[in-house]
A = this chain, B = another copy of it.
Amino acid sequence: MNNDSSVVVALSPDACSTPVVDADRVAAVRRTLPSDDVVRELADVFSLLADPGRLRLMAALLEGGEMCVCDLAAATGQSMSAASHALRLLRTHRVVKVRRSGRMAYYQLADSHVRMLFDLAITHIGHDEERRGG
């Protein structure tokens, strides 16, 4: 069936370089896409998880519960400075929270989504390892 509402490609003035095959589908998809803000925040969250150092930090907290910075640094194999920088990032994004006692800072995970994100991603790469024949 042809779309009587004329397959007019309502391209913005500057985006006229992109041809469109199925204009209706494109329009429908555009409507359902998350807003730019949400997309940016999502990318932000995943960026936090996209670094081995931070990943180890989170895995350590997943297992160790609550730990101080120097122990976290030792457990994850990075310098205290690197660990502190990483924890700061995670802190500002509400992934971990800190409790201070004297000169120590004890960190723990702030919510439980991290564990699920981990498991899901592990499932994904496990799925990848499972395939045969290279």
Contact = CB atoms under 8 A, between A and B. Distances in A.
A117 interface: yes
A55 B104 CA distance: 39
Nearest to A40: B52
Interface residues of A, number: 64
Interface in A26-57: 26, 28-30, 32-34, 36, 38-43, 45-47, 49-52, 55-56
25 contacts: A11-B74, A17-B80, A18-B79, A21-B70, A22-B67, A22-B71, A26-B74, A26-B75, A28-B63, A29-B63, A29-B64, A33-B56, A33-B60, A34-B59, A36-B52, A38-B125, A39-B55, A39-B59, A41-B127, A42-B125, A43-B52, A45-B125, A47-B50, A49-B50, A117-B121
Interface of A: 4, 11, 15, 17-22, 25-26, 28-30, 32-34, 36, 38-43, 45-47, 49-52, 55-56, 59-60, 63-64, 67-68, 70-71, 73-77, 79-80, 94, 101, 104, 111, 113, 116-118, 120-125, 127-128
